[in-house]
Amino acid sequence: MTETDLIEGLRKQSPKAQQETIDRYGREVFALVVRLVAVTENAEEVYQDVFMKVFSNIGQHDAERASLRTWISRIAYNEAISFLRRKRMPVVYFEDRRHEADKLSDAEVDETLGHANAETVLLIRAALKHLPPEERALVTMFYYEERSLKEIADITESIPTTVASRLSRTRKKLCRIIKMLQS
Amino acid sequence: MKEEQLNSLRQQDNALREALRQDEAELPQMPADLNARLMKRMAQEKPVAKTRRLWPWVAAACVAAFIIVNIMPPKASPPAPLAKERGVVTPDTHRAEKPMIAEVEREAAQPAATTKAKKAKARTNVVKHDVALLAQETTATESVTPEVKAEEEAKPELAQAVTQDAKPMTLTERDIPITRPENYKYTPEEIALLKKQADEAYLKWVELELEIAKHHLEQTAQQ
């Protein structure tokens, strides 16, 4: 089934198209949600809400603006963020109030994040836990899922240049946290 | 930072990519029955969605009906406030006159009713009436009949007057019949009308008495 057929089937509320959508994008959506929400039970709730919204609001999807995958990811991202805000889940993360991360040179950042030795990987994993959920999701979408800046901008309801600057800042922030953990 | 630069950084940041891959591998896996639960929930929530679509419309319709009932005036009443605003007399003059006429008619009818009650007594006395008295009474009725005719002729004129009154005219405070007690006083025209009607009723009573007397006379003559 092509994406166009799938969208057409979803518009007609076809159970077959709905099942196909869940099978095709379910795992990706769950991963995106659980990355932000963390607790599995909550992630399951958000996951169900995401697909309920997808099936009920399929009429709002504009195929020319974004693919079905991006549109579903956008709903999942927004649902997870609003769940965190609604439930007021305690999130502890590093905040660079003094903007010390900006003082780090690009070469220093490239060297820290480029060497894939076990110790650095462990440090980076620890540093990722100190990032806010939105920034962690941004880094994952770019580095792990290998999405384009435009796609990430569509998901986060932003513009590509903003996403690029946020990514650059997050890299430096990670480097700063690693330095702190090392010291 | 440009997209090309970031794309090249994505390839360079091996440590970061490896860290993310390991993190993703450790994330909790999606439960196998989650999709089945989702489909079940969808099946459950479908009829609820239909009712949700309906009730706002029902509520809106109820509110609209309530507003219409409260704001819109009843169909019969609109002319009254309009007439009051314009200060125009419409059929209200008829209403004011009708009770008066009704009262006069009642008064006129009352002697007739009393005569009926007195009929039994009169029957015994009628025998005593002499022919001369009867003749006098008949002449009286004959003399009255032209008056009655004049009244009948005057009736269309009265009707015309009433219809003229019914035409729109400017109201003054004195013309308001209910709020001003002095308006209950009869005008000379009304008194004249009342007198005429009373006379008419009296004549009818006399005619009736005469008929009764004649009837009794005939009966006694036969005997």
Residue of A nearest to B9 (CA): A110
Judgement on whether residues B106 and B153 belong to the same structural domain of the protein: yes
Asked whether the predicted pLDDT for residue A124 surpasses 80, the reply is: yes
Asked whether the predicted pLDDT for residue A5 surpasses 70, the reply is: yes
Among A87, A116, A149, the domain boundary falls at: A87
Judgement on whether residues B108 and B211 belong to the same structural domain of the protein: yes
pLDDT of residue B43: 82
Q: What 3 state SS string does chain A have?
A: CCHHHHHHHHHCCCHHHHHHHHHHHHHHHHHHHHHHHCCHHHHHHHHHHHHHHHHHCHHHCCCCCCCHHHHHHHHHHHHHHHHHHHHCCCCCCCCCCCCCHHHCCHHHHHHHHHCCCHHHHHHHHHHHCCCCHHHHHHHHHHHHCCCCHHHHHHHCCCCHHHHHHHHHHHHHHHHHHHHHHHC
Rounded Cα gap, residues B206 and B137, in angstroms = 8
Is there a domain that residue A158 lies in? yes
Is there a domain that residue A93 lies in? no
Is there a domain that residue A10 lies in? yes
pLDDT block averages, 10 residues each, chain B of length 223? 77 86 86 86 70 81 91 63 46 49 55 51 47 48 54 61 60 61 74 93 94 92 86
pLDDT of residue B33: 86
Judgement on whether residues B98 and B183 belong to the same structural domain of the protein: yes
Q: Which residues pair with B170 in a beta bridge?
A: B88
pLDDT of residue B180: 58
Asked whether the beta carbons of residue B3 and residue A164 sit closer than 8 angstroms, the reply is yes
Asked whether the beta carbons of residue A31 and residue B27 sit closer than 8 angstroms, the reply is yes
pLDDT of residue B128: 46
Asked whether the beta carbons of residue B38 and residue A115 sit closer than 8 angstroms, the reply is no
Total number of domains in chain B:
2
Q: What does the mean pLDDT of chain A come to?
A: 87
Give the domain CATH number at A15.
Answer: 1.10.1740.10
Selecting from A113, A122, A144 the residue whose C-beta is nearest the C-beta of B24 gives: A144
Is there a domain that residue B147 lies in? yes
Q: Which domain holds residue A169?
A: 101-182
Judgement on whether residues B64 and B129 belong to the same structural domain of the protein: no
pLDDT of residue B104: 52
Give yes or no for A164 touching B (CB within 8 A).
Answer: yes
Judgement on whether residues A48 and A111 belong to the same structural domain of the protein: no
Asked whether the beta carbons of residue A139 and residue B16 sit closer than 8 angstroms, the reply is yes
pLDDT of residue B85: 46
Rounded Cα gap, residues A96 and A173, in angstroms = 7
Rounded Cα gap, residues B28 and B134, in angstroms = 128
Q: Which domain holds residue B140?
A: 88-222
Point out the least confidently predicted range of A31-40, A129-138, B120-129, B207-216: B120-129
Rounded Cα gap, residues B4 and B152, in angstroms = 115
| Helix (H), strand (E) at residue B219 | helix B188-222
Neighbours of A76 (CB within 10 A): 26
Give the domain CATH number at A166.
Answer: 1.10.10.10
Total number of domains in chain A:
2
Asked whether the beta carbons of residue A125 and residue B6 sit closer than 8 angstroms, the reply is no
Asked whether the predicted pLDDT for residue A24 surpasses 70, the reply is: yes
Judgement on whether residues B180 and B96 belong to the same structural domain of the protein: yes
Among A54, A87, A120, the domain boundary falls at: A87
B199 and B147 Cβ atoms separated by less than 8 Å: yes
A157 and A71 Cβ atoms separated by less than 8 Å: no
Selecting from B20, B28, B42 the residue whose C-beta is nearest the C-beta of A52 gives: B42
pLDDT of residue A173: 87
Is there a domain that residue A121 lies in? yes
Q: What is the maximal distance between C-alpha atoms in chain A? A: 59
A40-56 and B34-71 helices, crossing angle to 10°: 60
pLDDT of residue B124: 45
pLDDT of residue B14: 84
* Cβ neighbours of B27 in A, within 8 Å: 31, 34-35
Is there a domain that residue A96 lies in? no
Looking at the complex, report in whole angstroms how far the Cα of residue B45 sits from the nearest Cα belonging to chain A: 9
Is there a domain that residue A92 lies in? no
* Cβ neighbours of B44 in A, within 8 Å: none
pLDDT of residue B164: 56
pLDDT of residue B130: 47
User: Between these two residues, A104 and B28, which has the higher pLDDT value?
Assistant: B28
- The pLDDT tens digits of the residues spanning A50-65 come to 999 999 999 988 888 8
Rounded Cα gap, residues A153 and A164, in angstroms = 9
